[in-house]
Amino acid sequence: MIKKLLVGIDTSQHSRNAQAYAFHIAHRLNASLIGLHVVDIVSIEGSFFHDISGSLGLEPYLDFSTKMREVLTARGRTVLEDFAAASSREKLPVETVLDMGIVANQICERAKSVDLVMIGHRGVNERFSSGLLGSTAEAVARKCPRPLFISPMKFREVRRLVLAYDGSERASHAMRAAAEFASGLGTPIAVVTVARDQKPGERTLEEARKYFEPYSLPTEFKLLCGHANEEIIKFIREYEADLLFIGAYGHSRIIEMVLGSTTEYVLRNAPCPVFLSR
């Protein structure tokens, strides 16, 4: 059961939408919140500042670094205070944590003590990076030891769920989480399987049907044909899904570099939040 949520907090709009989803889900599942802000060590001690101080022949780099640390730490405390105040207004149990280090690493470390991690697609320091998925979000998606909820730019109440199921172990974990969510939120759920051959696809869907039978949920099951990544995105757009459940990266990093990853494609293109399970 999901009873403790870790929310990545910064000053970006993506973070604010992750907070909105966290409040919404915490209310529906009767869960508590942990707000985490990480003072990014790269922003303080990154190569950019080393290059600037070296090119100018300046020695007071360490003093500059200390001041940067103080400013960013103070800003982090303010951000967490605002989050705690908003959580209190929502009458939700909350605690806050201020860490310093590499953002993705700290999130993954803190994730070990919670049931679900919630972050935005992009953070405040990634406004100039390429692609639709920030580097921190991608790193957390690959390394996070707990289920991960990645929110889009706009908040929308969760009313319609979709599970992408392929019969794998990771997809089975996603199915378990989706069933718990749908039960807790009282929402219908659509289960989709993408297969090039009809018979294997039907067997996979039958596995899902049997799993969902005891839950007595409004469910529908769809067999799609084509490329998994494209068909999943097409379906959730047509279904107007509010949340997609999917298994995390299913191939080795080397294979993904050559062939691409369904998970990564979905994360970059999904119009709704994505719930990743391992």
Look at residue 156 and tell me if it is in a domain: no
Residue whose structure tokens are 């806050």: 96
Name the domain boundary from 105, 129, 151: 151
Among 217, 223, 225, 231, residue whose Cα is nearest residue 160 = 217
pLDDT in tens, 158-196: 999 999 999 989 899 999 999 999 998 899 999 999 998
Residue 57 predicted with pLDDT over 70: no
Residue whose structure tokens are 């294979």: 255
Measured CA angle at 74 (ends 128, 56), to 5 deg: 60
Among 80, 90, 85, residue whose Cα is nearest residue 25 = 90
User: Are the beta carbons of 7 and 18 closer than 8 angstroms?
Assistant: yes
Measured CA angle at 73 (ends 70, 76), to 5 deg: 150
Domain ranges, residue 211:
161-277
pLDDT in tens, 34-50: 999 999 887 766 544 44
Look at residue 30 and tell me if it is in a domain: yes
Domain count within the chain: 2
Are both 8 and 140 inside the same structural domain? yes
Confidence of residue 112 (pLDDT cuts 50, 70, 90): very high
Handedness of CA 171, 108, 121, 8 (dihedral sign): positive
Are both 145 and 175 inside the same structural domain? no
Look at residue 106 and tell me if it is in a domain: yes
pLDDT of res. 249: 63
pLDDT in tens, 11-29: 888 899 999 999 999 999 9
Are both 14 and 146 inside the same structural domain? yes
Are both 127 and 240 inside the same structural domain? no
Half-sphere exposure of residue 16: CA atoms within 13 angstroms, side-chain side: 7
Q: How far apart are CA 222 and CA 202, in angstroms?
A: 9
Output 226 or 36, whichever has higher pLDDT: 36
Q: How far apart are CA 131 and CA 151, in angstroms?
A: 16
Are both 195 and 75 inside the same structural domain? no
Percent of the chain with pLDDT over 70: 83
* Beta-strand pair 274-277/148-151: antiparallel
CATH classification at residue 168 = 3.40.50.620
Buried-state track 110-122, b at ≥16 Cβ within 10 A, e below 16: bbeebbbbbbbbb
Are both 72 and 95 inside the same structural domain? yes
Look at residue 142 and tell me if it is in a domain: yes
* Beta-strand pair 219-224/94-101: unpaired
Are both 88 and 167 inside the same structural domain? no
